[in-house]
A and B are shown apart, each in its own frame.
Chain A
Amino acid sequence: MLAIEAGGADMDTDLVNAVFRTMHSIKGAAGFLGFTRIGTLAHGLEELLNELRNRELTPTSEVVTSVLSAADFMKGLIDAVESSNDADVAPFVSALQRFRPGACEADASATTVGPASGSIDASITLTDAVREFLIECRENIDQAERDLVALEEAPDSPALINSIFRAVHTLKGGAGFLGYGVLERLAHAAESMLAAIRGGQRVLTSRITSCLLAAIDKCREGVGLVERSGTDAALGVEGVLRDLRALDETDATTDEPCASREAETPPAVPLPRTAPATRPAAAPAEPIAGEKGSAAVAESTIRVDVCLLDKLMTRVGELVLARNQILQHAGVMEDSAFISTAQRLNLITTELQESVMKTRMRPIGNVWAKFPRVVRDLASQLGKQVRIEMEGKETELDKTIVEAIKDPLTHLVRNSVDHGIETPEARRQAGKPIEGRLFLRAFHEGGQVNIEISDDGAGLNVDRIRRKALERGLISGDQAARMTDREAAQIILLPGFSTAEKVTSVSGRGVGMDVVKTNIECIGGMIDVQSRPGKGTTVKIKIPLTLAIIPALIVTNGGDRYAIPQVSLLELVRLEGEQVTQSIEYVHGAPVYRLRGKLLPLVNLSERLGLTDNGARSTDGSSDAEKVLNIVVLRAADRQFGLIVDRVNDTEEIVVKPLSRHLKNLSEYAGATIMGDGAVALILDVMGLAVASGLATEMRETGLGANSVGEAKSGRTTQTLLVVDLGDSRRFALPTSMVSRLEKVRRSEIELADDREVIQYRGAILPLVRLSDVFGESAGIATDTDDLQVVVYSDEQHRCGLVVRNIVDIVETELKLESSQGSDHNLLGTSVIQQRVTDVVNPRNLARRHSQWSSGALAR
């Protein structure tokens, strides 16, 4: 409505478009709900605007006044919507008609000319009108989709049908006006079907729902197409249209060419004919209330660029710091006026900060909204019946987190439907209701958001998980025996694990849960799996409210402060006096501490960051001087380690700021923050520290665990290298960061594919590369051993197994590479390691070369 007024004042093309669309939506909605007078008025306005749009009419002040008065009148009508059908709109309509040169024939020509001319400028560049249309389309499509799935649950709800109808109709109107004929036809077909359902001629079946959903998907595709190419001509809608038509055999009217229908007053067509008698009487309060409600919402919200919000956030952060400084200052001042002003400033700033934080919050329902559809499609594909229930849709999360959890949550939901909930047959036998139940719950607790995804399916078969994990070598025999069921359930989160008996298109390839876990942990969240056999599985996720502000432990080291994110923090250990020397022991030079009977590897932060001047271990003989040792026990992935710091200060809420690109490759830091006194402090990346300390490489069952700790030498550029030999004098090394696993493979396991050696490895094909072949070593591994040592390398695209003769050692050393003369791309360079000249292999290059042919097979 306001758009009309604004539009009336300044008639440029975009504005007319916008006004036209608004009017058309009003007309559609009004017509559909039986408010014929509003519809008529809107129709009159719309036609007039169309001519303005086509330059058949110049916007004289007289025209504008007329349009405005009609719009004002319409506003009045909407306010008194119940009685609107009695109001007299004729004077306005005739006033509008007066400006039209050929009222009758324009009816037909306007609609044909309009879209054509619209398409001319629309297809060249995305004008504001088109962009707005696309945004609106997305919303309408989403809305329609949600409502459709909901409609299946409650097929009799007129409010839902109305809402879908309105969404589709708006889409059609907009598409028609801007000249997207294909979209228009599609929307029209869907609308006809909806009209039939609405009018009671048809009953909603799941087949119809599927068809309509398909049509909505097509619409979405079309919108995407328009966005990319500016035209929807390439959209193939025939299949969907045919399906819809096939369903429509009873209703002859829908076979009419859509153009002619559009040329009339479209929404008026289904209604007056189908429900003229029932409509006015039944005109339910519900949709009217909905109409009013949504209008109110529309006026109280605006679209804001996210960048602007981010900027606002930064500014508020600055304000908070300035406030802190002023407060400090106020503490020493005597001036009472200043003190009270400072306090007021304090209060306002806090409130402002909270409000700005809120602008970034989005309800989790935004992510959940698509799940009913996902579940419905998946369940019908798998022949299951699943009902989805949600609680706590309104739970709010920071925008960035909402984005980040979208994929993991979708994965979990799909998993539940695929693996969790049984087939109807199995459920009947188990004495459960045939329809499975998937329950999503979200709530705030302790400054975190909890999300639970539970199903009432078969639950996890922990024995099978143990067995599978053993088979795949993820755990050892006695580990399996010691494990509680609860612990066993967590195995499904390990990489390369899947219990699915058969691999489906949906899930079961053994990737996925670990990805979910990684993604959740990336945003500082935690994931936990609980399962009761026969009763179902619950996945619990805890994530922070926001990524921008996190609780952190502040420590001091070498005079500087560092922040450690609280999520990684397990406990603090303080050793004093003699304890310091007594309780630190060394395993092959690496310090460890016995924490409740378990060995906790220790990492000295100063050493790690290269801050020790003399290079001597501070935990060493000199430790008598410093009587106190502070150990911060941290968790990185599934490992624990102790970080030795000079002093533990306090926990604080810190604002995370990214580091500049120069520092991005320092994995030890996760970012930086500004402390209360305005100084900058670095945020430690616990995972990065663990990796840099050689703690987080995956070497559990290879028997190399003891060596892998290596000799922790102090130095800045040390790297852990895996040293191997090929059965002769030359030595080769690989950075352990590039080694994902070490495996022993029996000769008999090697198979040939495409004349290359491969093994089956974790459900996929792993090409083998004999380093001896690559580097021209003749000495045969071929003859004398039955077991081959394989170093497994994998990255996003490639995997390969490098066959070596022996694994010699793992050393941590300062890597000084000298590039090899022959510029062999298979080598990163040559270095002196343990007093021997060693070639450092570039596994990435080898893998790329040797796994090309099988990348398709390894894609998942």
Chain B
Amino acid sequence: MTRKTRQFCTFHVDGLFLGIDVQQVQEVIRYQAMTRIPLAPGAIRGLINLRGQIVTALDLRCRLGLPPRDAEQPPMNVVLRDGESSVSLLVDRIGDVVEVGDELFEPPPATIGTSARDLIHGCYKLESRLLLALDTKRVVELTAA
């Protein structure tokens, strides 16, 4: 039996090592000037002009219930395909693309915080550390907000 692997685009958010299946990632870009949207839910940080396409930026820290990042540290954008449009996730730092085998997967521990539990699909036990796989569908779904 061949070993099934997936490639993950990884990034760091407040000490967490997170990953998203590369298939879902459109591109990774530097911090872009954003236009804030008054009245919008808190996690929506603003709108970005991505080569003529208007992309909504979600703050992943806010989504995961983490403290806001320092003002002087500009976030990076991980742009995801979301059906017709795109959504950008604001993260602290971009990591490498890693290839992981399915056998390393385990569902998330039941003890993680409630705000994050819904968003994390599970974790991959890498040698040095744990990679948390985000459930992108849930992350961009803002029904609760």
Q: Which residues of A contact B (CB under 8 A)?
A: 314-315, 317-318, 321, 558, 560, 609-611, 657, 659-663, 666, 668-669, 672, 674, 678-682, 716
Contacts and interface: CB of A to CB of B under 8 A. Distances in A.
A660 B81 CA distance: 12
A659 B47 CA distance: 9
Contacts, number: 69
Given A611-B38, A663-B44, A682-B37, 9 more contacts: A318-B52, A609-B38, A662-B41, A666-B40, A668-B38, A669-B37, A680-B34, A682-B35, A716-B39
Contact of B37 (A314, A317, A663, A679): A663
A661 B56 CA distance: 9
A662 B44 contact: yes
Given A663-B40, A663-B56, A672-B47, A681 B35 contact: yes
Q: 5 tightest A-B contacts by CB?
A: A318-B52, A609-B38, A680-B35, A680-B47, A660-B56
B60 to A, nearest CB: 14
Contacts of B53: 314, 318, 657
Contacts of A317: 52
Nearest to A561: B35
B4 interface: no
Interface of B: 33-41, 44, 46-49, 51-56, 58, 82, 85, 87, 140, 142
Which of A314, A611, A661, A672 has the most chain B CB atoms inside 10 A of its CB?
A661
B49 A679 contact: yes
B67 to A, nearest CB: 22
A786 to B, nearest CB: 45
Contact of A660 (B38, B49, B85): B85
Contacts of A610: 38-39
Contact of A321 (B33, B46, B52, B140): B52
Contact of B39 (A609, A661, A672): A609
A220 to B, nearest CB: 32
Contacts of B33: 679
Given A660-B85, A680-B47, A672 B54 contact: yes
A314 B52 contact: yes
Contacts of A661: 85
A682 B142 CA distance: 20
B85 to A, nearest CB: 5
B35 A666 contact: no
Nearest to A667: B39
19 contacts: A314-B52, A317-B52, A321-B52, A558-B38, A560-B36, A609-B39, A610-B38, A610-B39, A659-B56, A660-B54, A660-B55, A661-B85, A662-B44, A662-B142, A668-B38, A672-B35, A672-B47, A680-B47, A682-B35
Contacts of A669: 37
Which of B40, B49, B53, B82 has the most chain A CB atoms inside 10 A of its CB?
B49
Nearest to A666: B39
A729 B132 CA distance: 55
Contact of B49 (A611, A678, A716): A678
A611 B40 CA distance: 12
A609 B40 CA distance: 9
Nearest to B141: A662
B35 A679 contact: yes
Contacts of B58: 662
B52 A674 contact: yes
A609 B38 CA distance: 5
B35 A560 contact: yes
Contacts of A662: 40-41, 44, 56, 58, 87, 140, 142
A680 B54 contact: yes
A693 to B, nearest CB: 13
A674 B36 CA distance: 14
B84 to A, nearest CB: 9
Contact of B87 (A611, A660, A681): A660
Nearest to A317: B52
Nearest to A662: B142
Contacts of A668: 38-39
Contacts of B36: 560
A556 to B, nearest CB: 12
Which of A662, A674, A716 has the most chain B CB atoms inside 10 A of its CB?
A662
A315 B51 CA distance: 9
A674 to B, nearest CB: 5
Nearest to B85: A660
Contacts of B34: 680
B17 to A, nearest CB: 26
B52 A666 contact: no
A672 to B, nearest CB: 5
Contacts of B37: 663, 666, 669, 682
A663 B40 CA distance: 7
A615 to B, nearest CB: 14
A606 to B, nearest CB: 9
Contacts of B40: 662-663, 666
Given A662-B56, A663-B56, A672-B54, A680 B39 contact: no
B48 A680 contact: yes
A318 to B, nearest CB: 3
Contacts of A682: 35, 37, 47
A838 to B, nearest CB: 25
A611 B39 CA distance: 9
A652 to B, nearest CB: 16
Contacts of A660: 54-56, 82, 85, 87
A669 B53 CA distance: 17
A679 B33 CA distance: 7
Contacts of A678: 49
Contacts of B41: 662
B40 to A, nearest CB: 6
B52 to A, nearest CB: 3
Which of B41, B51, B87 has the most chain A CB atoms inside 10 A of its CB?
B51
A558 B56 CA distance: 20
A681 B38 CA distance: 12
A682 B34 CA distance: 11
A713 to B, nearest CB: 15
A306 to B, nearest CB: 14
Contacts of B44: 662-663
A663 B36 CA distance: 12
B54 A657 contact: yes
A353 to B, nearest CB: 12
Contacts of B55: 660
